[in-house]
Amino acid sequence: MSKPEKQEDPEYRARSLALRLLARREHSRQELAMKLRQRRLPQEIIETVLDEYERENWLDDARFADVFARQRMDMGYGPVRILAELQQRGIGQKPAALQEVTEEEWCARAVKAREKRFGLQPVDDDLKLKMKQVRFLSQRGYSGTQVEWALEQTAPVDDR
């Protein structure tokens, strides 16, 4: 097949595009399928290509979830938000990166996020500032318990 003929072949296009996308970063199967559907490729070809890439271990939802969770944790996000974002990307189970982190470590991360954004001054006397910090930490994906614990801290916490 000549080069122009290959580029017209939908299976060749699906393989080529999927491989280029995976070369940039990890993708979940759902994300990759959606990106291929946006290019108006036939569903049966998409499924065939993705099945083959999973067998070759080029596409792996567990690996994607672990990498994604670690990146989001490094950005200061909490477990609730990370899990919600993974569900949006078609991942139903909790990745290993999140299972390794204890509740104490999540609390320490919440304190660190609060300290970075607001400092650690007491907020008991200023309801407006307290609510602002609660909203910030909640939107970041920390649980109510983690937020409460973070707001009680007035000194940096060792997060190991």
CATH number (domain holding residue 147): 1.10.10
Q: Alpha-carbon distance 151 to 29, whole Å?
A: 39
User: What pLDDT, on a 0 to 100 scale, did the predictor assign at position 158?
Assistant: 64
**Which pLDDT value is given to residue 154?**
83
The answer, yes or no, to whether residue 134 has pLDDT greater than 70, is yes
Residue 123 is given by DSSP the state -
Residues 47 and 93 in one domain: no
Range of the domain at 33: 3-59
In a domain, 159, yes or no: no
Q: What is the pLDDT of residues 63-118, one digit of tens each?
A: 999 999 999 999 999 999 999 999 999 998 899 999 999 999 999 999 999 999 99
Element (H, E) at 133: helix 127-140
**50 and 25 share one domain:** yes
Provide the pLDDT confidence category of residue 132 given band limits of 50, 70 and 90.
very high
Q: Kindly give, in sequence order, each residue whose CB lies less than 8 Å from that of residue 93, ignoring residues fewer than 6 positions away.
A: 62, 65
Specify the pLDDT at position 47: 95
Angle at 130 between CA 126 and CA 134, to 5 degrees: 175
Is residue 160 in a domain?
no
Mean pLDDT value across the chain: 91
CB atoms under 10 Å from CB of 6, counted, come to 12
| Contact call for residues 141 and 77 (beta carbons, < 8 A) | yes
> 94 with 119, same domain?
no
53 lies in the same domain as 69:
no
Count up the domains in the chain and report the number. 3
Residues 92 and 130 in one domain: no
Residues 109 and 75 in one domain: no
